[in-house]
Amino acid sequence: MPSRLFVTTGCAHAELELTAKVFSALDVPCGHEEIFHTAAFERGGTLFWPQTAAGDASWYAAPVLNKLPESSVVMHQVRDPLSTIQDLLASRFFERETQSRYFAEDFIPQLMDDPPLVGCMRYWLEWNRMIENGSQGGDLIYRRFRVEDFDGHCAAEQLALVGLQRDAGKARRAIETQGGTRLRCQVTLTWNDLPDIPLTAELKGMAERYGYRTERRTEPRAFAA
């Protein structure tokens, strides 16, 4: 078992389940939304952490990171905004009547008035911002990584934060077994498809800070023969 508790969190559709499966395959018991889920928050705010669990991978953890014990590790997993937004739209995340939608709206009330595309954009921006801000208070250890960079070395580095040494080669094979090296989403959404509003500029700013390219596609210029 690790020397510190850890939470891997990000947005919904950030491939958090993949990370949970890889860590568990490396003998680091990590659930996927087993500790942090909507029903847990209905128990008066008391979260139960099983002794057999080293960590949990859940987007629901974002609002309560400041409640974690001192020296807990927050692994902030981010995914390309266009991929995430496209998946959120495809799942009709902000159009269906679900507890997950209500949970997000409880913490970002503006989502209730946003059209679906804008809501997905705002959610990616504000949820990641919430994770960054919530990790600053107290004595938490915070690390951010892009799921697109989640390879054997990245997995080993994350687990080293909780005092566990794992071979990068074994971690790579675990990622391959879980399908993490395959293209998981054919992204057709482009930055051109996003509305020309201040929110888009904010979204681009955070995406660029996280290391994603945000060039808007332009029509190719015609050259005379």
Q: The domain 6-209: what is its CATH number?
A: 3.40.50
- Tell me the pLDDT tens digit for each residue of 118-136: 999 999 999 999 999 999 8
- Tell me the pLDDT tens digit for each residue of 32-89: 998 898 887 776 656 677 777 889 999 999 999 988 888 899 999 999 999 999 999 9
Domain boundaries defined on the chain: 6-209
pLDDT attached to residue 122: 98
pLDDT at 225 over 90: no
The 30-32 sheet, strands edge to edge: 30-32, 55-57, 6-9, 73-78, 141-146
Average pLDDT of the chain?
A: 89
pLDDT attached to residue 116: 97
Of 179 and 105, the structure prediction assigns the larger pLDDT to: 105
End-to-end CA distance of the chain: 68
